[in-house]
């Protein structure tokens, strides 16, 4: 079975009241601004691709195209909510 190697960056974000300096193994970053489309996904992480595809369809149907990175915000903690059917994730994509 052939498999495709995917490469991506992972960041953990926390809201702060002032810019953070970072240092050592921690690098400070800021989410980019601009027009953004977002959707919610409820369910296991394995089915997140369906929500991404729905958001892309919405953008295409509305004459928009991706303009920068997209990100996922995980609102559920699998340790406190063991039922994957109840996990909530927000998907955000910048567009032009």
Mean pLDDT for 24-33 is: 82
Give the CATH architecture of domain 36-95.
Alpha-Beta Barrel (3.20)
Instruction: Tell if the pTM clears 0.75, that is, is over it.
Output: yes
Percentage with pLDDT > 70 across the chain: 95
pLDDT recorded at residue 3: 65
Please state the domain extents for the chain: 36-95
DSSP letter at 2? -
User: What digits encode the pLDDT tens for the residues 39-78?
Assistant: 999 999 999 999 999 999 999 999 999 888 899 999 999 9
**SS3 readout for 8-57:** CCCCCCCCCCCCCCCECCECCCCCCCCCEEEEEEECCHHHHHHHHHHHHH
Q: Can you give the length of the chain in residues?
A: 96
């Amino acid at each position: 079975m052939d498999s495709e190697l995917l490469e991506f960056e992972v960041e953990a974000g926390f809201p702060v009241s002032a810019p953070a300096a970072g240092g050592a193994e921690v690098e400070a970053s800021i989410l980019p601004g601009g027009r953004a489309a977002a959707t919610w996904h409820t369910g296991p992480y394995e089915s997140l691709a369906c929500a991404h595809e729905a958001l892309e369809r919405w953008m295409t149907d509305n004459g928009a195209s991706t303009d920068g990175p997209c990100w996922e915000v995980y609102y559920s903690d699998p340790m406190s909510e063991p039922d994957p059917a109840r996990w909530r994730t927000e998907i955000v994509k910048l567009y032009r």
